[in-house]
Amino acid sequence: MKKVITYGTFDLLHWGHIRLLERARALGDHLTVVLSTDEFNALKHKHAYHIYEHRKYILESIKYVDKVIPEYSWNQKIDDVLGEGIDTFVMGDDWEGEFDFLKDYCEVVYLKRTKDISTTKIKEDLKV
């Protein structure tokens, strides 16, 4: 079984997120999403609208997602890849090159980011 992993906050889930998850899952037979905790989001200077438990619940309902585990540190990726038996690490290409150190442990794939949609844009557009 070819196992794929990806990371993110996935707040205010939108079609750009779904396209990423769909393409990531298509690279293997199993997709693990490592979901940023609310505390880790603070380290990323992000404040998610939905709390971790609700973002996890939403992701677990998506047919492309097989497992959701918490992301609590920038430094857990090697342990995750080894611990989860991962073959392929996937991120959107806004992260291009940032995680190449993982190439010693698994395949690293950066997928084209979906244009014209983001959680930030949604929040901005909804501001009255």
Residues that bind ligand C2G (CB under 6 A): 7-10, 16-17, 20, 36, 44, 71, 91-92, 94, 113-114, 117-118
Secondary structure, 3-state, 54-118: HHHHHHHCCCCCCEEEEECCCCCHHHHHHHCCCCEEEEEHHHCCCCHHHHHCCEEEEECCCCCCC
**Nearest residue relative to ligand C2G (C-beta):** 92
Task: Pull the structure tokens for residue 21.
Answer: 């998850």
Residue 123 is a catalytic residue: no
Q: With respect to ligand C2G, which residue has the nearer C-beta, 98 or 128?
A: 98
Residue 127 is a catalytic residue: no
Given the residues 44, 103, 112, 121, the one annotated as active site: 44
State the nearest-atom distance from the C-beta of 83 to ligand C2G, in Å. Answer: 16
Q: Where are the alpha helices (DSSP H) in the chain?
A: 15-25, 38-43, 52-60, 77-83, 119-126
Q: With respect to ligand C2G, which residue has the nearer C-beta, 3 or 5?
A: 5
State the nearest-atom distance from the C-beta of 2 to ligand C2G, in Å. Answer: 19
State the nearest-atom distance from the C-beta of 95 to ligand C2G, in Å. Answer: 6
Cβ atoms of 3 and 88 within 8 Å: the answer is yes
Give the residue numbers marked as catalytic.
Answer: 44, 46
